[in-house]
Amino acid sequence: SKTLTAQKENQFIYKGNEAYKEQKFEKAITAYQKALQQSPRNATATFNLGNAMYRTKKNEEAVRYFDAAIANSTDFKKQGDGWYNKGVMLTAEKKLQESIDAYKTTLRLNPMDTLARENLQRALNELKKQQQQQKKDQQQNKNRSKRNSKANSPNSRSCNCSRQCRSRKGCCNKKCRNQKCLFPASRIKTGSSFRNFKIMF
């Protein structure tokens, strides 16, 4: 009968909850699955099974059950709880934008959910930090590229000693300031005698 089936599914949910509290997550999974065998669309069993899956690092399965719990529930609060748990899991996976969207959905369904509001703020702060760090890294890479480009460009300050200078006494380009230059101008004299220096092969 329907009454007997409901009693059985509630018993399995209860057993699952007790096992979950004791952190016996595999045992909890078995109990919740038995509850779903009695009633496949039971939102509570589906929701709790998602929790237990997450605790056992089965994240893809957890998402699937949270989505099912949201779909099977007609209660806005329970739907919000499903989105909230998805948000927590996504935050842990560093998927900040997705977690922010999940928390926002929670608050649309249940504006009084203070935990969702707190987690949303934390996720927004974390995303802002992440974006600032990315911007900083991009600027550093840009500056590094500019320095490298300047050092390697063939202008009056670049070093051509590898092709032109064979004296090994100094760079043939008197204005050379290249740090990679084997004989930078700063190490040699630049008087009239040097300007007339002939390279002997």
**Which pLDDT score is estimated for 150?**
62
Instruction: Tell me the angle at which helices 59-72 and 76-92 cross, rounded to the nearest 10 degrees.
Output: 160
User: What tokens appear for 140 in the block?
Assistant: 């550093």
Note down the domain range covering 117: 2-140
121 domain residue, yes or no: yes
Q: Are residues 104 and 44 in the same domain?
A: yes
Q: How many other CB atoms sit within 10 Å of the CB of residue 121? A: 12
As a whole-number percent, the residues of the chain with pLDDT over 70 amount to: 73
pTM over 0.85: no
- Cβ contacts of 66-75, under 8 Å, gap ≥ 24: 69/43, 72/41, 72/42, 72/43, 72/46, 73/43, 73/47, 75/43
Number of domains in the chain: 2
146 domain residue, yes or no: no
201 domain residue, yes or no: no
pLDDT under 70: residue ranges of the chain: 1, 149-201
pLDDT tens sequence across 155-189: 544 455 554 454 444 455 555 544 444 444 333 33
